[in-house]
Amino acid sequence: MVTGAASGLGKADAWRLAEEGATVILTDIDPEGAALAEEIAEATGQPTRFFNHDVSDEARWTEIMAAIVDEFGGLDVLVNNAGIAIIASPEETTLEQFRLTNSVMSEGVFLGCRAAIPAMRLRGGGSIINMSSVASHLGYPVYFAYTAAKGAVRSMTKSLAVHCQMQGYNIRCNSVHAGAIDTPMVRSSFKALGLEPPDPDEHDPANPVGVGRPEDVANLVLYLASDESRFMNGAELMLDNALTVQ
């Protein structure tokens, strides 16, 4: 199951997982996700499903997970990817903006993790992949609410990994911390700040870190979803071309 799968990183994740043989459940508030699910199924031959899904809606999580359990007998992988980014500094951020951002990326991840545990236990275990960000490690004042939410995701991931291990659930939980990736959300953010979106195919000596491709993240998600990452648990995986170590 991939949330926020209609575009950007979620779209790339859904494609990559299906290409490797997964049955993929795509969810999003964007109805375009339905057409994408059909396109992926036709191209890969893998079954797909699409659910209209506001990740901050507790009841909707219950409904979707029940449908997955009913049809597939449980869940193997959850990619908590859905997100929004509002540009506003600590002084400019309104309470409504802060609550909206955190309802999607903090509460939404909490609800997803909680809903996934019983569904994964039915399958003997699973892998939860939470999309955090380098913003949880660095100071980005113009994305104040976003950084707060991603910091919560970072912390929840560790607590969930330890909890599931202590309970013997065989459920792993890791977080992905990407830098700037060439997605519609990142491009629109650059433009809103009056900046030219970088091109992942061009090297800029003034900005050697550059920008990644959605496929870069999807390949890491694939690894975390697979049994090859069986000993990777509670980890923060940085995908930022050394940005956070400079």
Q: Which residues are catalytic?
A: 146
The residue ranges of DSSP E strands in the chain, in sequence order, are 2-3, 24-28, 48-52, 77-80, 126-131, 171-178, 236-239
The Cα–Cα gap between 190 and 177 comes to: 19
The Cα–Cα gap between 133 and 144 comes to: 13
* C-alpha to C-alpha distances, 237 to 111, 132, 176, 210, 244, nearest whole angstrom: 22, 9, 5, 18, 12
Q: Is 213 helix (H, G, I), strand (E, B) or coil?
A: coil
Cα 212 versus chain centre, distance = 16
> Are 241 and 180 in contact, with CB atoms under 8 Å apart?
no
String of DSSP letters for 38-77: HHHHHHH---EEEEE--TT-HHHHHHHHHHHHHHHSS-SE
